[in-house]
Amino acid sequence: MKVMKFGGTSVGSTDAIKQVVSIVEKAAQTSQVYVVVSAVGGVTNQLVSLSQKAAIRDKSYEDDIAQLKTQHLEIFEALTGFTTDEFIDHIFTQLTEVCKGVFLLKELTERTKDYILSSGERLSSYMVNAYMKKQGLDVQLFDAREYIITDKKFGGANVIWQPTTQNFEALKQNEKQVNLFPGFIASTLDKETATLGRGGSDYTASLIANLLKADELEIWTDVNGLMTADPRLVRQAKLLEHVSYEEALELSHFGAKVLYPPSIQPALDVNIPIAIRNTFDPEGPQTYVTKEWQDGQTIIRGISSIKDVALLTLTGPSMVGIPNFSARLFKALSDAKVNVILITQASSEHSICVGISQVDVVLAQQAVDEEFHAEVMLRKIDPVKIETDLCIVALVGSNMRDHVGISGKMFSTLGTNGVSIKAIAQGSSERNISVVIAQNHLKKALNTLHESFFLSELKKINLFVVGVGNVGKAFLSQVRKQQAMLAKEFRVDIQVVGIANSKQCYFEEQGMDLTKWTELLKTGDACNIDGFIERMKALNLRNSVFIDITASKSISAVYQGLLESSISVVTPNKIAATREMEKYLSLKWATKKYGSQFLFETNVAAGLPVISTMNDLFKSGDKVNSIQAVLSGTLNYLFNNYDGTKPFSSIVKDAKVLGLTEPDPRLDLSGEDVMRKLLILIRESGRKFEMDQIAQVSFLPEACEKAKDLDEFYDLLDANEAHFQQLYADANAEDAQLRVVASFKNGEAKVGLEKVQKSHPFYFLEGKDNIVLFYTERYDEQPLVVKGAGAGAAVTASGIFADVLRIANS
Ligand code: ADP
Ligand code: ASP
Ligand code: MG
């Protein structure tokens, strides 16, 4: 014999009920079955809500009843062809009368509420029975209230085993092929209707399985089984094909509501295996829950969560002296019917901290205030402190107790995503570690933990890109081309969630289709940088990376706040890294404190690995003593192409057209851009340095530096063409090349035009190449050389991409 329980969604519509009946019919061909059904999906919640409305004299509860009646009659008609039904009328008449009483008395007791809630299961079982009969099944409907006897703890009554066992004895002789019970409902010894607590239909089924010694218990629901996390919150959740009772208990205790926690116990007591199956995928995979099962490998089996939790903390220096302190606290809470979900490790001699359901906050506060009134007056303890809008996230796994380092990994995973932990608890079974965090971080926390503990999963990186000019475009196109390969070969799923230009922004939480980002952006909303950041923060996604591909000062000003919100920043924009040393240090400090990263490899020599090489040297214990570099692809291009035959200004204009200059080429020609790069290199080598410590010898005639705008600048270049011709001729006479060289030696930094002889590595620098020579303790005679293309949209974009991958791999 087997027991099959069908949850709310499984009986949530006509089609679903038909599906249920066909599943039952098939099962009944090979064994006798006991079928337990929940109320139609959502109905119990609606009954709770309408009864509460009645209690506060909100007359709209009447409409809610009428609407429920229509809903049931519609299903009933579709199943049986009848438009009216005496029994259904009768239930709604009773419901209306009881609610009227609640309305008049302005009082809703737990007992009355249980009666009201029982309507849901009474209706659903009646309708399923009618349809089964119509389909010709050999079925009998039982009223669970005549069999399951409980105490008077309405709202979550406890079964009294002796009379219940006796009642079921009679059923052992029953030979009906299909036996149908409403779940969730029961009655007290004096025949008052009671319920077994929310989600309690699972318990009804498990209880029947126990009492009738079923071979198997099947819980049919709307998912294929118990998963590594709630699939509604974690898209990557995977099915657990086999779990132990203990693991299932622990997962469900911490919120995997697919199984109601107490429901496992009766089946566990007599060793009946539980299968969790999907009504809408009956042939699909499922979860088996059995005794003492271990897969021997996975340490963490699943991650559960409970929403709407409050933390209640009692603190006081003199708590040690108060006898039975914690016993009194727990008794006060239990007398007030407040369920303690978790007791945290913060509980010590001086403080005790428990997690409760948020709906119980008022009751809990009253109970604790009353119990410890005297102690609070005497200042032995502080008034109870309550924090709300929290949730619990728990890692569950039987093998956990033998492994160290799990909590460390959990905390650091959360920490790098800016999720701060309010409290920690390790279950005494050592099968779980749970943390209390702010509710708005729930989804992010679950997803990031899921990625970090289920290794084969893809790690998702969520990008927010501001600036879609040449480099931005090239970057988006590189991401689009590499996405699939990175996911397949490197297990990183890089998605662009937000993009913006100076006027508009577009967001897509799951990541946008990069083949049509231009059109998508056009459909986006008008927004400025503040609006963009606000929306990005509201999404609160794990592994968020902000990518600034602008040269804007105001955008660089947002980095500090982002890094402090644990959002990493990648940028070719040099402004932030070249402001006052104090500000630069403050950005670095934020990355350390909040686990974010600030990467700007493309600030120096575009995609060439200059900064990362230096960081690697530094980390491996080397020290950079001096630096010599040609850092401007633009200037290099100019001096490689200028030979006096065409005016210098026309070469500058060519470079601008080729995208080799800053938007304003004067920044390149003045040497300022090179100074910024040198400053960044010096800072990244671990030294404190400011821009004004760099000596600059300009090669421009003084007049040119005073130009008001770009046009005037070009005119002035032409007016001074002789100056450039002279520079060229001088170099040529010595068979030398002109290079703007940046150097740092003995604490002194300078940038200036130099004549470089053939014997020097700087002589042969093609087109827009950059070169950096690092003289370090290890490379003291022969420098470490990094050389290659140092400008251009594609190489800069690939440098940005490399930074993103550094974050993905960290
Ligand atoms: P029923 O109405 O069938 O009793 P419930 O809504 O009570 O169904 O439980 C099924 C739901 O439990 C699923 O739709 C899923 O969103 C949720 N759930 C939460 N955690 C888990 C988990 N770890 N595995 C599977 N489902 C889970
Ligand atoms: N209908 C009840 C509830 O929603 C019992 C159940 O579905 O298990 O809580
Ligand atoms: Mg349920």
Q: Which of 402, 458, 394 is nearest to 256 (CA)?
A: 394
| Phi-psi sector, 543: left (phi>0), alpha (psi -120 to 50), beta | left
Ligand 1 is surrounded, with C-beta below 6 A, by: 7-10, 38, 199, 221-223, 226-227, 229-232, 251, 256-258, 302
Q: What is the pLDDT of residues 685-738, one digit of tens each?
A: 989 999 999 998 889 999 898 899 999 999 999 999 999 999 999 999 999 999
HEC string of 755-796 equals: EECCCCCCCCCCCCEEEEEEEECCCCCCCEEEEEECCCHHHH
The pTM for the full model equals: 0.74
* Contact in structure between 572 and 799 (CB atoms under 8 Å): yes
Which is the closest atom of ligand 2 to the Cα of 45? 4
Q: Which of 221, 251, 287 for a ligand 1 pocket mutation test, highest count of atoms within 8 Å of Cβ?
A: 221
Q: Which atom in ligand 1 lies closest to the alpha carbon of residue 219?
A: 3
Cα–Cα distance between 548 and 640 in angstroms, integer? 31
DSSP state of 222: S
Identified catalytic residue from 443, 444, 677, 787: 677
* 439: CB partners within 8 A, 6+ apart: 307, 308, 309, 389, 390, 391
Whether residue 409 lies in the annotated active site: no
> What distance separates the 2 farthest-apart alpha carbons in the chain?
115
Report the C-alpha gap between 146 and 802 in whole angstroms. 69
Collapsing DSSP to helix, strand or coil, 388 comes out as: strand
Best probe residue, ligand 2, of 35, 119, 201 (max atoms within 8 Å of C-beta): 201
Å from CA of 7 to ligand 2 middle:
7
Residue 130 to residues 29, 38, 90, 126, 504: CA-CA distances in angstroms? Answer: 19, 16, 16, 6, 58
The per-residue pLDDT for 244 is 87
Tokens of 61: 């509860």
Mean pLDDT of 498-506: 95
Q: How far is the CA of 206 from the centre of ligand 3 (A)?
A: 13
Any idea which residue has 């402001």 for tokens?
Answer: 579
CB 193 within 8 A of CB 187: yes
pLDDT tens per residue across span 624-666:
999 999 998 889 889 999 999 999 999 999 988 887 787 789 9
Ligand 1 centroid, distance to 570 Cα (angstroms):
39
Gap from CA of 258 to ligand 3 centroid (Å): 5
**Which tokens hold the place of 648?**
């210098």
The tens digit of pLDDT for each residue in 68-77 reads 999 999 999 9
Which residue puts its alpha carbon closest to atom 8 of ligand 2? Answer: 199
- Name which of 383-387, 672-676, 693-697, 761-765 the model is least confident about: 761-765
One-letter amino acid of 610: V
Q: Which of 37, 40, 44 to mutate to test the pocket of ligand 2 (most atoms within 8 A of CB)?
A: 44
pLDDT of residue 349: 66
pLDDT value at residue 634? 86
List residues near ligand 2 (CB under 6 A): 7-8, 38-39, 44, 120, 183-184, 198-202
Distance 152 CA to ligand 1 centre (A): 28
User: CA 196: distance to chain centroid?
Assistant: 34
Mean pLDDT of the chain: 91
Nearest CA to ligand 2 atom 6: 199
Q: Write the CB contacts of 671 (distance below 8 Å, at least 6 apart in sequence).
A: 635, 696, 698, 699, 740, 751, 752
